[in-house]
Amino acid sequence: MELRQLRYFVTVVDEGGFTRAAERLHLTQPGLSTQIRQLERELGQPLLDRGARSVTLTEIGAAVLVHARAALAATNRIEETVQEFTGLLRGQVRLGMISGAASEVFDVAGVLADFHHDHPHVGISLTEDTAERMVAALAHDELDIALTGLTGAAMDPGLDLEVILETPLTAAVARDAPIDPAESAGTITLAALAERRLICLTRGTGLRGVFERSCAAAGFTPNVAFEAAAPPLLLQLAARGLGTAIVPALTADDADAFAVRRLDIVEPTLHGRLALAWRTDPAPSPAAKVLLGQLRIAFGGHVNRQEQ
């Protein structure tokens, strides 16, 4: 029995027949059939029922398939381990990132360039998406690593994360808007926002998720009149008197630049969190582990909490 025969057997099952399996394996169909029959002769039992239009597993074939998959997976892990120790990383790493995360503080492009220089045989893919969709992609093994906001929802038990930035949520209104008694101290309670037309980040983002969950806990649904993906646009809308913007960590200088007045949200204070997230079950590939390590080194040295 040879590993390649097990690989051929698994491929026939996955492709549902010899024709497509032969195409995938770049073999002739008679040659593939011969290899499977040789495997069956060595085992002394038929593994496949060959019908006129389909190929199905025998009862013994179904039992063997489980072990064949495990043997091939073990072989892949052995190869990856050797590559990891020799530094000859190969494969593909899939990285996800929320829009706007790449900045001078989080130099994603620089980390990827250094990784590519050190490991030119590893393919890298980068996609931007919302926090909710990226966490789902991690859970479904469609991403290896994500730089994502946290919505406050429970995480899949097969994922792990490291928070690299925590930032308070603040409110902003037009600088020349009348001062409501509820905001005379430069603050506004979460409950008071229930009566406001709000300008928020789009659904699926980490900050929007944190805000909506907090509103639900306070017993109301926020009245979101405008939403956009970029905080600067939220501030521009607020400056024109279109509502109260909910934005991350608005500094006094930013408030002056956008002609808005900052209101610190209190009772309770709210915080958004940016994190590196990755799969732990199954364990990341050697290439993904190396890139994750470089990202953690590059971003983990930053102050974890961003004050106003």
Average pLDDT over residues 7-13: 90
Task: Extract the tokens encoding 258.
Answer: 């956008």
Residues 212 and 222 sit within 8 Å (Cβ to Cβ) = yes
Q: What's phi and psi for 209, nearest 5 deg? A: -65, -45
pLDDT for the residue numbered 304: 46
Residues 172 and 124 sit within 8 Å (Cβ to Cβ) = no
pTM over 0.85: no
What gap in Å lies between CA 113 and CA 295, rounded to an integer?
12
Name residue 227's beta-bridge partners.
200
Q: How many CB atoms lie within 10 A of CB 215?
A: 20
C-alpha angle 163-164-169 in degrees, rounded to nearest 5: 85
Check pLDDT > 90 for residue 241.
Answer: yes
Task: Extract the tokens encoding 252.
Answer: 């006094």
pLDDT for the residue numbered 81: 66
Amino acid at 158: G
Check pLDDT > 70 for residue 10.
Answer: yes
**Tens digits of per-residue pLDDT, 251-302?**
889 999 999 999 999 999 999 999 999 988 778 888 888 899 999 988 875 4
pLDDT for the residue numbered 89: 65
What gap in Å lies between CA 204 and CA 98, rounded to an integer?
10
What gap in Å lies between CA 218 and CA 196, rounded to an integer?
15
What gap in Å lies between CA 221 and CA 64, rounded to an integer?
54
- Domains in the chain, start-ordered, CATH in brackets? 3-86 (1.10.10.10), 91-162+273-300 (3.40.190.10), 165-272 (3.40.190.290)
Residues 46 and 7 sit within 8 Å (Cβ to Cβ) = no
- Give the CA distances from residue 64 to residues 11, 18, 32, 60, in Å, rounded to whole numbers and listed in that order: 13, 18, 18, 6
Classified as helix, coil or strand, 144 is coil
Check pLDDT > 90 for residue 240.
Answer: yes
Average pLDDT over residues 147-162: 89
Angle between helices 286-300 and 108-118 (to 10 degrees): 140
